[in-house]
Every structure is written in C-alpha cells, then in structure tokens.
Amino acid sequence: MQPELIIRNGTVFDGLGNPGIWADVAVYDGRIAEVGSVAGDGAREIDATGLFVTPGFIDIHSHSDFTLLVDPRAVSSVHQGVTLEVIGNCGHGCFPLVNKALAKNSIYGITGDLALDWSTPAAYLDRLEAAGPAINVLTLVPNGQLRQATVGLAERPANPDERQEMCRHLDEALDAGAFGLSTGLEYPVEMGASGEEIAELLQPIARRGLLYATHTRKRDQGALAAVEEALVTARDAGVRLQISHLLPRGGRADCEASVELVQRARDGGQDVAFDMHTRDFSLTFLHAMLPPWAMAEGLGGLAGVLSSADNRARIHAYPSIVTSGGWERVTLLDNDVAPEFARLDFNSIGQRLNMMPGDAALELLCRSANAARPLMIIRPVYDVADQDLAFGHDLCVPGSDATALCPDGPLAGSAFHGAYGWAAWFYRVYVRERALLSPAAAIHKLTGQPAAVLNLANRGVLRKGARADIAVFDPEVFADAATLWQPNQTALGMNFVLVNGALVLDHGAITKNRPGRVLRHGSGQ
Ligand SMILES: [Zn+2]
C-alpha cells in the first residue's frame, strides 16, 4: 500500500536516547510504516532536510482538563510538538463532580465558558472525546475531587464510610480508563488526608499496576519529610511513583536533599521518578491561601466569613501554598477583577488599599466572587542551579504544569505560564544554551522517558509499528517566545506535527484536523 505520508531526509531520533540517523519515515493508517530509506512515493511528501524528526512530545504534567473542552485545538501545545498530555494532576481535575460549587475550585483553567454538567469519570472522558481534541490525552484520578465528593471541605481524615465512597469513585474512574491516581496534598482540600486513607486508595492502583503521582504535602518548610512520606507510602503500597514538580521552594539545600532522597530510593530498587515545570516561579490560585472551612460557601460567602475578627485571625495564621514565602514575594497576575493591581506584589497592593497585605488579598478574593476566571498568583522560587539540578538528572522529565490554550477563540483571554513555552524553553536552554543535554537526551526526556513512566509501548517512540505521533522541527530555531508578561506567544521552529498519523501542524500552521484520542488504560493505546 502507498504511504499516506513520507517524511524525507530528516535526522530521525527514536526517542529512546539513541543518536539521530539520516532516514525517511513513512506513515500509513495512523502508524509508522517504515523508518529508513523508503522507496516509492507517498500520497504526500515532506522534505525534512536539516530538520529533526522525533516522536511527538509527551507532557506528563498538564492541567488541560477543562481548557481542552472549551477549545480542543491546543494551539499552545501543538506549536511545541506536544502530541499527548497527562491531565488530572495535583489532585485537580474534572471528575467526579458531586458538589459542583466546591469542585470548580479544584479545576485549573476554569472559565465561565462551559457549565459543569457532567458528573462521573466516564461522562467526563466521553465529553472530552466528543470535544475532539487535536492531541491525545490521558488522565489520572484527582484525589482533591475524590475528597470533595465525599468528605467535602472537612479538614480531617476521611472516615471508613467516606473512604469506601472514595474508593468507589476511584474504581469507577479506573474502570473508565484512568492511568493512575494523583494527589495534591499541599492544597487545602487534601491537607486533612491521612496516610492510611491514601494507602487505601493506592490498593486498586497497585492491583492494576497503575501510577501514583503526588504533589507532596509540604513544599516549603517540611518539604523533605513530605518527599519521604511519598516514597514510603508508594513503597508500602507497591505502586510506581511519580513525584510532581519535585523541587521544594525552600532553597538549594532542600532541592539537593530532595533529589538525593529520590535517587537513594531508586538505587534501593523503588520504581520512582519525578518531573519539574520549566517556570522558575510557583504559580497557583490566590484562593489557595484559604483554609477549607472559609470556602464552605465558596468565594461568594467569604465576605460573611470575614465579618468575624476571629475568622480573619485564623485565616491569617493559616500556613498555605500562597503565603509560606511571605506576602512581599507573592505577585498578582493579570486579571479582570483588579487590573490596576496586576503585576504588583501584595505589600504594594496592601499599601494602595491601605491594608495589611493579607487583608488586601482577602479583599480581592471577595471582589472576585463572581469573576469568570479565578485570581492567580506567582512566587519566585528557583534559580539556574536548581533547574540544572533537576533537568540534568536522569530521573527527571519536564512538564508544562499548565493548561493548553489558544491565542484566539474562547481562551484568548486566559493565561497560564508555561503553556506556550515549556518544551521549547527546555530544548532551547538545555540543548543550545546551557548545553547540558545532547539533542538525543533532551528528546528522550520529552518522549520515550515519559512514555516509559506511563507504560505506553507504542507512543513516545519512533519505530515501525508505533503510533504516528511525530514532531518535525528546526533544531537551530526551536524556541519559546512567551515571556512573563506576554505569556500567550506560540513557540518558534516547529514545522510539522502529526497526531495518530494526521497533520495538526503543517508548515508551521495549525490545520483543521483534530485527530487526538482519549487514551483509556487497558483498551489499547
Ligand atoms: Zn502541583
């Protein structure tokens, strides 16, 4: 049969870390039909002279759960060669939805564009498939939603009945095809989760040979104990472990020690690895500063909560992902609620509002109660040496820790730092600028290595028979264009991208094809 497409004369990388070879790649029926010197003509031919031809990139840590429903084109991802995203990370995600007013606070990238009118994991995955994403997607089960669906906002371990209910939701999600469980133990809704509770949730994960990904319990003070907790929990349960964005925020010594802990566990035979986002700052919701009880009525009820001086004092005393580094290091991102305070730190915002920084934050949260998009903040946390420590490490793969976006359409007004530039930044910085990784090694970290973590045999690798998820790019040009204050700029240098054999990027332009699939564990990928 005639190949649908032949990519000629490129430098072809297999994604397994081997050096590139000069070869053609033929594609037929969604798969790679041949790699080598391909005779005959393809229905379409692409000249890849001077370009790298690699497996499509895998984003092991994405938060595109909601944005792919709103705009499935995933333009930010496609321009970087991303062909598969892993969603449901950090305990955040779009199922199960029981109390929707609560659930929406654990969905990254949420906007008012779409009603949350599904409930079960299967309904969500069907919905995602029906949206027709341009790229492939697979999901983990977000523990934050398991807890909100059963325990609500109570800041305590789940009781036996609730644990049973959580396991029921979890089993349902695993039956629907989820690839594992994620926790976000640093977030208010999961802080009350006990080790016993997580151990119970990990039983079906272990039975089915799935993955446990964890955003650990503490990432400022106490970060090392939290990494240790993750290692012990996973070891005792007998599950494969992926530690999400491993590096703590407490400085160099903690970063080194956390990497050492993981390395030592690996040396001892534990199946553990980690990922890291490419931002040198931490980014999250401003409302993550609030203890769960203060969110009982959502942000609409916050003004009422704050009418008590005692409540205010308790909130200010609450250690959170937002405030652990001090308010002077917390910067408000661009937003529609208080645009005049965007890009300022909370000391400055407080001065302008004539309030203490923490009170200014609460004031803005009250004002944002009906906003279409939640307020987001950043905290600077990493330097170059920290990043080199992570990205240079054999067990680390990069991830976006962001939502797929599109510069036009319904998501045009949304921003999520990393979305448009993470993979391109990684390649530019680690291959071309700091030269810490060879092209083959960097490509491996973007393809075969995350595929191995996910146990995917036919993706993340460019060889005969594998799925035709392919990136074709100019190794001298591939780079990020997004900046801190202009984050919505597509990456440069990506020429062609195929998903399941169909072009989603053609000569650097997005096509109308949306060939992505929702991968379901156990039903062939
Ligand atoms: Zn996280």
CATH code at position 86: 3.20.20.140
**Residue 473 belongs to some domain of the structure:** no
**Residue 140 belongs to some domain of the structure:** yes
DSSP readout, 41-69? --SEEEE-TT-EEEEPEEESS--TTTHHH
Last residue of a domain, one of 420, 440, 458: 458
In this prediction, residue 372 has a pLDDT band, given cuts at 50, 70 and 90, of: confident
pLDDT in the model for residue 485: 92
Q: Could you read off the pLDDT of 16-42 as tens digits, one per residue?
A: 999 999 999 999 999 999 999 999 999
Per DSSP, helices labelled H in 58-159 are: 67-70, 75-78, 100-103, 121-131, 143-150
Q: How far is the CA of 104 from the centre of ligand 1 (A)?
A: 16
Q: How far is the CA of 258 from the centre of ligand 1 (A)?
A: 16
Looking at residue 484, what DSSP letter applies? S
Q: How far is the CA of 34 from the centre of ligand 1 (A)?
A: 39
**Residue 323 belongs to some domain of the structure:** yes
Last residue of a domain, one of 322, 352, 379: 379
Q: How far is the CA of 4 from the centre of ligand 1 (A)?
A: 40
Query: Are 272 and 246 in a shared domain?
Result: yes
Q: How far is the CA of 184 from the centre of ligand 1 (A)?
A: 6
Q: Are 247 and 279 in contact (CB under 8 A)?
A: no
Q: Are 414 and 335 in contact (CB under 8 A)?
A: no
Looking at residue 222, what DSSP letter applies? B
- Average the pLDDT over 420-437 and give the result: 98
Q: What percent of the chain has pLDDT over 90?
A: 92
Q: How far is the CA of 426 from the centre of ligand 1 (A)?
A: 19
Query: Are 392 and 303 in a shared domain?
Result: no
Q: How far is the CA of 89 from the centre of ligand 1 (A)?
A: 7
Q: How far is the CA of 216 from the centre of ligand 1 (A)?
A: 8
Query: Are 174 and 256 in a shared domain?
Result: yes
Q: How far is the CA of 229 from the centre of ligand 1 (A)?
A: 16
Q: How far is the CA of 377 from the centre of ligand 1 (A)?
A: 14
**Residue 225 belongs to some domain of the structure:** yes
Q: Could you read off the pLDDT of 304-349 as tens digits, one per residue?
A: 999 999 999 999 999 888 988 889 999 999 999 999 999 999 999 9
Q: How far is the CA of 215 from the centre of ligand 1 (A)?
A: 5
Q: Give the structural domain span for 316.
A: 293-379
The label of the residue with tokens 């946390």 reads 381
**Residue 172 belongs to some domain of the structure:** yes
Query: Are 250 and 273 in a shared domain?
Result: yes
3-state secondary structure 415-478: CCCCCCCHHHHHHHHHHHHCCCCCHHHHHHHHCHHHHHHCCCCCCCCCCCCCECCEEEECCCCC
- Average the pLDDT over 370-388 and give the result: 92
Q: How far is the CA of 13 from the centre of ligand 1 (A)?
A: 31
> How many distinct structural domains can be found in the chain?
2
- Average the pLDDT over 208-230 and give the result: 96
Q: Which residues are bridge partners to 502 per DSSP?
A: 499
Q: How far is the CA of 383 from the centre of ligand 1 (A)?
A: 19
Q: How far is the CA of 63 from the centre of ligand 1 (A)?
A: 9
Question: Does the pLDDT at position 70 exceed 90?
Answer: yes
**Residue 408 belongs to some domain of the structure:** yes
Q: How far is the CA of 173 from the centre of ligand 1 (A)?
A: 20
Q: How far is the CA of 513 from the centre of ligand 1 (A)?
A: 31
Q: How far is the CA of 2 from the centre of ligand 1 (A)?
A: 45
Q: Which residues are bridge partners to 503 per DSSP?
A: 498
Q: How far is the CA of 90 from the centre of ligand 1 (A)?
A: 4
Q: How far is the CA of 27 from the centre of ligand 1 (A)?
A: 37
Query: Are 454 and 325 in a shared domain?
Result: no
The whole-angstrom separation of Cα 463 and Cα 467 is 9
Read off the pTM. 0.95
Q: How far is the CA of 246 from the centre of ligand 1 (A)?
A: 9
Q: Are 11 and 33 in contact (CB under 8 A)?
A: no
The whole-angstrom separation of Cα 204 and Cα 210 is 8
Distances in Å between the alpha carbon of 12 and those of 8, 304, 451?
A: 10, 61, 18
Q: Could you read off the pLDDT of 134-161 as tens digits, one per residue?
A: 999 999 999 999 999 999 999 999 999 9
Query: Are 142 and 72 in a shared domain?
Result: yes
Q: How far is the CA of 463 from the centre of ligand 1 (A)?
A: 33
Q: How far is the CA of 214 from the centre of ligand 1 (A)?
A: 8
Q: How far is the CA of 289 from the centre of ligand 1 (A)?
A: 15
**Residue 32 belongs to some domain of the structure:** no
Q: What are the tokens at 275?
A: 């990922």
Q: What are phi and psi of 73, to 5 degrees?
A: -70, -25
Q: How far is the CA of 284 from the centre of ligand 1 (A)?
A: 9
Q: Are 448 and 17 in contact (CB under 8 A)?
A: yes
Q: How far is the CA of 286 from the centre of ligand 1 (A)?
A: 14
Q: How far is the CA of 423 from the centre of ligand 1 (A)?
A: 18
- Average the pLDDT over 430-448 and give the result: 98
Query: Are 119 and 258 in a shared domain?
Result: yes
Q: What are phi and psi of 523, to 5 degrees?
A: -120, 35
Last residue of a domain, one of 424, 458, 492: 458
Pairing of strands 240-243, 272-277: parallel
Q: How far is the CA of 433 from the centre of ligand 1 (A)?
A: 27
pLDDT in the model for residue 525: 67
Query: Are 161 and 72 in a shared domain?
Result: yes
In this prediction, residue 462 has a pLDDT band, given cuts at 50, 70 and 90, of: very high
Q: Which residues are bridge partners to 117 per DSSP?
A: none
Query: Are 374 and 389 in a shared domain?
Result: no
Element (H, E) at 347: helix 346-353
Q: How far is the CA of 245 from the centre of ligand 1 (A)?
A: 7
pLDDT in the model for residue 250: 86
Across 68-72, 142-146, 382-386, 497-501, least confident range: 382-386
Q: How far is the CA of 244 from the centre of ligand 1 (A)?
A: 6
Query: Are 182 and 101 in a shared domain?
Result: yes
Q: How far is the CA of 49 from the centre of ligand 1 (A)?
A: 39
Q: How far is the CA of 353 from the centre of ligand 1 (A)?
A: 31
Q: How far is the CA of 281 from the centre of ligand 1 (A)?
A: 12
Q: How far is the CA of 226 from the centre of ligand 1 (A)?
A: 14
Q: How far is the CA of 171 from the centre of ligand 1 (A)?
A: 23
Pairing of strands 494-499, 470-473: antiparallel
